[in-house]
Amino acid sequence: MIADPLLPEKTRRQSPQHDAVAAQALLEPAILNGETSDVYFLRTLDVLEAEGLNPRVTTEIFPSGPGILAGIDEALALLRRVLPRGVEVLAMERGAVMQHKQVVLRISAPYLSFGIYETAILGVLAQESGWATAARHCVEAAGGVPIASFGARHVHPLVAARMDYAAVVGGCTACSTVLGARLGGVEAAGTMPHALVLIIGGTLRAAEAFDRVIDPGVPRVALVDTFHDEAEEAVAVAEAMGARLHGIRLDTPSERGGVTPELVREVRARLDQAGHRHVQILVSGGVNPERLVRFRESGAPVDSFGIGSYISAAPPIDFTADIKEIEGRPIAKRGRIPGITPNPELRRVL
C-alpha cells in the first residue's frame, strides 16, 4: 500500500483497535436512563413491571441490507453496563461484511434488563454501519491509495468521533478528530486549513510557521491552493522546506474547477522536475467513489485522499430487532420465522 502522507511511519500499519474503555465512557446518562429511547419502550417497561412480567427473551438484530458492520462495540458496551449475570450475547465482529437480514447480534436475557435500549442499539448500528459502508466504497474505489476521513465538519459534534471511528472500521487509514482517532486506534491526521494561510498571509509563510511550532513527529503537508497557482506554490514550498516537506494538499474549490487528474499530473511533474520526488500529493474536496475511479483509471499520481461528505452524509442502514424466543419457546410476529436464526459468524461475547 502507498504510504499515507498524513500519518507518522509508526502508525501507518497499525490495525484499528477500538478502546473499550472509551466506548464505555461514551455512554451518556440520557441513553442509560432511557431519555433517548422511543417512549413506547418506556411505557412497555411500566406495564410489564406493573403486571409482574419479566420473561427471558431471545432478541435477534439484523440489517435491512448488506454493508460493513460498525457500532457493535458501543452496543456491547451498553449491554455490558445494563445486563445482569447469566445472560448470553452473541455478535458478529466489528468490520465484518454483513448480508441482508443476517443476524449480527443475539441477546438472551430478561426483557426488562435491556428492552428500553432497543432504540439506542439500533441507532448506533444503523448510523455507524452506514458510515463504515460508505468508507469501504471509497477504499475499494481508490484501489489501494490511502483514504482519510475529513467529514467531522458535516455532522453534529457529539457524533463526529463516532463517524470518524466508523470510517476507520470501514477501511480509512486516518481521521481528523482526536477522539475518533483514539477510538479507531490511529493518530488524528490533518494538514492545515485555509484559515491559517489567509491569516498569516501566504502559503509559504504558513508552512514555515507550522514547521516551527508543531511537533516534529507531525508530517508537514502544505495546502497549496489559497492564493496562487497550485503547481507554483507546491514548488515554492518544496524549495524552501526541502526534505522537511512531506507532502502538499490540493483542495481547489469547485468555483475554480476542483482538483482534476490533469492538475495532479502537472503538480507531480513540476515537483519532480525541480528535484522534489519525495513530496507526496493529497487530494481533498468533494471526493466520492466516482471521482476516485476517475483518478485511478487516469493514472493520476495521488498518494492519499481526504473524504468528507460522502462518508459523513451516508444513509443509515436500517436494523430491526425481533423477539424470537420467550422462555425458550420459539415465537415471532407474522412474516417472520419463530425460533433462532442460524448464523455461524456469531461469536459469544457475554
- Residues of the chain with pLDDT > 90, as a percent, come to 83
24 burial via Cβ count (<10 Å: 0-12, 13-18, 19+):
middle
DSSP, collapsed to helix, strand or coil, labels residue 250 as: strand
d(CA 74, CA 239): 47
Amino acid at 238: A
Residue 261 CB partners (closer than 8 Å, separation 6+): 294, 295, 298, 299, 300
- Three-class DSSP category at 122: helix
Cell of 113: 434488563
Residue 210 CA from chain centroid, whole number: 27
- Which range has the worst mean pLDDT, 11-20, 194-203, 213-222, 263-272? 11-20
Give me the residue spans of the domains in the chain: 20-128+315-348, 130-312
Calculate the dihedral angle through the C-alpha atoms of 231, 237, 241, 245, rounding to the nearest 10 degrees. -60
Residue 94 CA from chain centroid, whole number: 12
- Topology adopted by domain 130-312: TIM Barrel (3.20.20)
User: How confident is the model at residue 191, as a pLDDT?
Assistant: 87
Beta pairing class for 245-250 and 220-223 = parallel
For residue 97, the SS3 value is strand
Strands (E), the chain: 56-63, 67-68, 88-91, 97-98, 105-110, 147-149, 174-175, 220-223, 245-250, 280-284, 304-307, 319-326, 329-330, 347-348
What integer pLDDT is reported at residue 28 of this predicted model? 80
pLDDT number for residue 5:
54
CB atoms within 10 A of CB 191: 27
In CATH, what class is 20-128+315-348? alpha beta
DSSP 256: G
Terminal-to-terminal C-alpha distance of the chain:
37
C-alpha cell at 258: 476542483
Is 1's pLDDT higher than 80? no
Answer whether residue 187 shows pLDDT above 90.
Answer: no
Tens of pLDDT, residues 259-268: 999 999 999 9
Q: 24-58 pLDDT, tens per residue?
A: 545 788 888 889 999 999 999 999 999 999 999 99
| pTM, rounded to two decimals | 0.90
